[in-house]
Structure 1
Amino acid sequence: MSLICIADIYSQEKRYLEAEKYLLRALEREREEGIDSYSFNICNELCLLYIKSGRISLVVKYHNLIMQMQKGLKLLEDRIINTNYTYALYNLMICNYDLAYDHLKKIYALIFNSNSSKYKIVVCNYFELILYKCKNESDIRNVYNKLEKKIKLLQDVDTCLEIRISAIRRILTLGYKGLAKELFFDLNGYPKNYNVEGIYVYLELNFRNRNQYNFLINKALRVCSFVDNQEIKADIYSAIGEKYNELECNVLALNYYYESIALYIDTINLLPQNDKLSYANNSRFLETRKLFVKCLNEDLGINMSFKSTQFIKTIEDLEQILKELDLMNILDNEDTFKLVQYLYEKCYYNDFRDIFKVFEKFSNNTIDDIKM
């Protein structure tokens, strides 16, 4: 039990590697001693930790595990709260906002008057999700004002800022850019956590003036090297592509659109079959794909055929779209190949003069590819 408590302290401090070490040690000790009274709780905390640190393959593993373990358990109230919170964050990760809302709605009555700082954060997350239920800007403002009242009950300044930034991003995603911009410029402080800073920079890219684009792009690329949340990083790359497109640097725009798409695809490939469509349809994957196709065919004058889609209905349709976006399929077009060759020869220094030799050296290890 003491190991779990130590892990909880580290997790609250966002020291996730230390928290993971103590949780895994606690799980190992339970197995060695042949007891399993805390195994479900430990696995739930590991899943929550991996969600917060963006380690998707481990999130999927532990999410499936706790769902199986729960079938044979009668949960006490605190475990009902913690489990539903984990399920809600998992569904947020896969962009299934309705199901995430349903999980938090189940426990709201149990926690809305709680003095626990942890549960106060959960209440704030609940009001964030209510934003997705709003029908117009007036509703959005009303819910955000209620959220603001809940945020003011928190003690930690950094957590308050993190929740505000997250909510503004959601408002922007819902299409209320004017309101999101207004709320963004009302913010005080600057985030200390890299993932939160990533969202902040993403918002800056959307709201700052054109004469700041070059500075913001360089800042965003620096922050991306530390961000471990795949979706945040993908959104930033997509926004960078849009800024380069506005600056009429279309080759660079194309590059960052594809960088973004590749990250979305990585996430899709890690998810269970039932969750792939939710993520593909509700993340910025399809919007970024649309921008990529427009940049390639209209702005750069390359004629490649892509399936027109606003919503992916089946796994088969998704697989076709992923196949179209496969790098080898893109490079099979001679004009696109020459464009990519020009980009790599201009922007990347290495000992290879032939673009084929560059791609031959590519592996599944992105870090090794960068070092090349």
Structure 2
Amino acid sequence: MLSLSRSLRSSCLPVGHLVLSSCILVGLATACGEDPTFDASSLDTEDGSTAPAKGADGGRLNGDASTTDARASDPTTDDGSAPNDAGGGDATTAPDGADAGNEAGTWLPIPGASCTTIGELYERACGQCGKQTASCSPSKIVTGFGQCTEPDDACVPGTAEANTACGFCGTTSRVCNESCEWVAQPCQGEVMAADRCEAGEKKDRSEGCAGGITRPWTCNATCAWGPPSVTCEEASRILTIGSAVGATISRNFTQLGEKIKRLTASSAPCNVSSLTDSHFIYIEVRNPNAKPAKVDIGVSTVPGQEVPNVLIAAYSTQPSDLAGRKACLTGAELSCNVNLAYEACLFGTKSPTIPANGSVWVYVGNFQGADAALTFNLSANITSL
């Protein structure tokens, strides 16, 4: 029986792919497997070389005749040469036209490869979370990939910006996420004191002053309030205007105990009397707005006090000498004929304009030298901003 099997084995010699068939026809297929050197995964060809066995779908068998390798996983062709990537591939299948630089499990066609669906788009990543697009042309050839389109303000994932100030003397930064977007980090290291403030902040505060007098305070670089820039007495001579056209701010003021030569009613430049000394006060009228403000300013009576008999004038800075006192902005007025609610005023063409974030200084002096230091009300109404 063994000699017969060997004889039949010799009858199964090179007849191409019919070799197994001839064994099966004899009904002794088992005899072909009795030879320990026989390998069902490879067969001898007519020229003596070894050809891989083929599966039913034409795929290459991978050791086990029951499974086949995907064509895309085999880096060589059947004749042992590298696949031709330059063209001839089909863009709808992964083999010869595939772009090896894509993510695992994905592929892209090589520009110039053939494709099947006109207008089909192919995208690939580029730059910082950007995309490039190719398409299947009307001639069914894959076009070149276009310009890389990246998101606005795209960043390199994982990078971080330098720390910047935030909150109450804290620091923060931005970190680039996996989507190439900047993400702000929480503010850290802030001052936790109850009376903390933001560096550079300005605020009128009444601390240390009686009678509701407020002073301007500025927050220092350690997020704590620095010492006020003026004394309570100086602060008692400040009026800060509102923030909208039509807004009127007023408060009571009291003239100083000292006297100086009073003004006389006139247009600018102002005239200074050579005869009469009287009580006076200079009031700083502040404009906290980012725009210049034109204001009507008026003096009125405080209930229980004498009716003011005063002159009023405005200056760009507080005068410190005779020349400064003459340099008034719009002249000096002794009455207010345009509005009888006031005893003296600077209205209409006499109204001063206060620079943005600036001040004017308003003089209010008694006309009569014998009159006592007066308490009066000063109001400022914004007519344009």
TM range (shorter): under 0.3
| Larger strand share, 1 or 2 | 2
Larger radius of gyration: 2
Between Structure 1 and Structure 2, the one with more helix by share is: 1
